[in-house]
Amino acid sequence: MRIFVELSGEHPTLPRAEALAAMAAERVEVKATTFGPHLLRLETTGPVERAARRLGLAHLVCEELASGDLDSIREFARSQDLGGRTFRVRARGIGVDIEPRGVEEPLGGDFGRTGRVDLDAPQIDYRVLVGDEFVLGRILHRVDRARLEATKVAHRSFSLPISLHPKFARALVNLAGIPMAGTVLDPFCGTGGILLEAAELGLRAVGFDREGKMVRGARSSCREVGKAPDFAVADAGRLPIRSGSVHGIATDPPYGRAASTRGEPVDRLYERAFEAFVDVLNRGARVAVVLPTEKAIDIGTARMELAERHALRVHRSLARYFCVFVKA
């Protein structure tokens, strides 16, 4: 199936990386890709809709039906037999300001020869993107961005400023490439935001933190929304789990000053943690981790293979690096 993903555009590379990682995790085979910062087009085989339901840094996932100039997508529309089903057409410019009605109305007329317009709850929801060419698709999945905002950290009963925004927590879980029904570990779980997203995706989740109050708070936040990750107090450098019992790690360790390390230099903590990660993961398993410095990335690279890195600017002078390491 040819599909396209309307990316959130919040970052030049992270949304695309998340989408490709989610496809790989669900065993969707991707044959060809073209992309810009807002649009990813893929030729795929496999359970695309399942992968689509994982995404956080995207708006829509559509099956691609036709592309070219306006005449060629209108010709496609006229060739369809909707058999009286209801439909809606929505158009949007990618990198250009368009008048949507100039596209929606003629296509509405074309599809309307065999179907009926329903703007509220159509059976077929068509999407047209206008950029270098016209691309017509049928919506397979709409990412619930409102939910990702509503579960924003500040709205949870147990929250601290250390927590990642849910959409980035979800991206991190996806980057860890955990297969369906697999288990993800967050060994620095804090308020549990990453594991909440993992549980939301239907993954099993295990969280550790050295602070008992974090473990208790994370557990109660998850219970409130009906999720049940396993939490325990543990040091990320001495993980109390059997080797191979988790399929990957998604984590956001302390960066230094703000988060507590009980006086341990963060670089020493990262060394111990990466060593523990290598011990518990199977070959090929991934660690998706947010790191604060090049030095921290080097510590990871000395122990695992660095597959990806995406710098995210937090303030003018402060960056975080979303990195993916693979156990060789």
Ligand X SMILES: C[S@@+](CC[C@H](N)C(=O)[O-])C[C@H]1O[C@@H](n2cnc3c(N)ncnc32)[C@H](O)[C@@H]1O
Contact residues toward ligand X (CB under 6 A) are 162-164, 187-188, 190-191, 193-194, 208-211, 214, 235-237, 252-254, 259-261, 269
Instruction: Give the β-pairing of 305-315 and 318-326.
Output: antiparallel
Beta-bridged to residue 288, according to DSSP, are 250, 324
From the CB of 256, what's the least distance to ligand X, in Å?
10
CB of 21 to ligand X, least distance (A): 18
Least distance between ligand X and beta carbon 193 (Å): 3
Contact present, 15 and 29 (Cβ < 8 Å): no
The residue of the chain with the least Cβ separation from ligand X equals 190
Nearest CB to ligand X, comparing residues 165 and 309: 165
Toward ligand X, which CB reaches closer, 19 or 290? 290
Closest approach, Cβ 13 to ligand X, in A, equals 21
Contact by Cβ (8 Å): 59, 142: yes
CA dihedral (47, 50, 56, 60) positive or negative = positive
3-state secondary structure of 132: coil
H-type alpha helices, the chain: 14-25, 48-52, 70-79, 101-111, 145-150, 166-175, 193-200, 212-224, 266-280, 294-301
Of residues 177 and 193, the one with the C-beta less far from ligand X: 193
Which residues have a Cβ under 8 Å from the Cβ of 40 and sit 6 or more positions away?
Answer: 4, 5, 7, 15, 16, 19, 20, 33, 34
CA 14 – CA 23 distance, rounded (Å): 14
Residue 257 Cβ, how far from ligand X at the closest point, in Å?
11
Q: How far is the CB of 254 from ligand X (least distance, A)?
A: 4
Tell me how far CA of residue 313 lies from CA of 162, 227, 292, in angstroms. Answer: 16, 31, 11
Shortest distance, position 105 Cβ to ligand X, whole Å = 46
Contact 126, 106 (CB under 8 A): no
Pairing of strands 183-186, 134-142: unpaired
To ligand X, the closest distance from the beta carbon of 80 in angstroms equals: 46
- Nearest CB to ligand X, comparing residues 64 and 186: 186
Nearer to ligand X, 96 or 154 (CB): 154
